[in-house]
């Protein structure tokens, strides 16, 4: 009989411990539920659900705005390739009988190497201005030594 009484007491102690554990877990669960409800209902004008909804809407608007900005940036990058960005200027004395370096060659190019060479040849009796198109860093017209020099300098300016 002693074994049966010991077994009964052991089971009774285990049940009491189980009930105590259940009571502690129930008490903690009740506190968690109270905190959860307090979060959802909030203390002020808005509750957590409204905050989350507003954040979701704001995130969506920001993503749409970011998408528009990225599209605009890509368009601006493509446009920027066509802007005149590289240039070089060389002043020189075209004729021995003229004073100073009155003649010049100017190259203006975009990022792709397209643009123009402008040359002004100054003489005592007359001055002339020439324009030669540049495509991919090359001209379909013959270039003078000075024009070749300024073209090479402009092409080396990788702005």
Grade residue 35 by pLDDT with cuts at 50, 70 and 90: confident
Residue at which a domain ends, from 24, 59, 80 = 80
Q: What is the DSSP string of 55-91?
A: HHHHHHHHHHHHHHHHHHHHHHHHHHTTS--EEEEEE
Taking only the tens place, the pLDDT of each residue in 38-84 is 777 766 666 777 888 889 999 999 999 999 999 999 999 888 877 88
* Same domain assignment for residues 94 and 151: yes
Grade residue 8 by pLDDT with cuts at 50, 70 and 90: confident
Q: Kindly report the average pLDDT of the chain as a whole number.
A: 88
pLDDT above 70 as % of the chain:
94
Least confident range of 18-32, 33-47, 75-89: 33-47
Give Cβ neighbours of residue 48 (< 8 Å, ≥ 6 apart): 39, 40, 42
* Same domain assignment for residues 95 and 146: yes
The number of domains in the chain is 2
Domain range spanning residue 67? Answer: 49-80
Give residue 117's pLDDT. 95
Taking only the tens place, the pLDDT of each residue in 108-157 is 998 888 999 999 998 878 889 999 999 998 999 999 999 999 999 999 87
Structure tokens at 110: 């975009």
* Same domain assignment for residues 145 and 112: yes
Grade residue 20 by pLDDT with cuts at 50, 70 and 90: very high
* Same domain assignment for residues 65 and 91: no
pLDDT above 90 as % of the chain:
53
User: Within a domain: residue 6?
Assistant: no
Q: What are phi and psi of 120, to 5 degrees?
A: -120, 120
Q: How far apart are CA 48 and CA 32, in angstroms?
A: 15
């Amino acid at each position: 009989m002693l074994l049966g009484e010991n077994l009964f007491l052991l089971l009774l102690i285990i049940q009491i411990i189980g009930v105590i554990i259940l009571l502690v877990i129930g008490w903690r669960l009740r506190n968690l539920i109270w905190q959860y409800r307090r979060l959802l209902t909030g203390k002020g004008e808005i509750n957590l659900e409204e905050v989350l909804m507003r954040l979701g809407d704001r995130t969506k608007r920001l993503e749409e705005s970011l998408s528009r900005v990225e599209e605009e940036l890509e368009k601006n990058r493509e446009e920027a390739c066509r802007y005149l960005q590289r240039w070089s200027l060389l002043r020189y004395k075209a004729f021995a009988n003229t004073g100073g370096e009155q003649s010049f060659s100017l190259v203006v190019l975009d990022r792709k190497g397209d643009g123009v060479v402008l040359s002004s040849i100054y003489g005592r009796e007359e001055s002339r201005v020439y324009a030669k198109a540049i495509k991919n860093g090359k001209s379909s017209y013959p270039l003078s030594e000075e024009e070749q020099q300024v073209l090479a300098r402009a092409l080396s300016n990788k702005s």
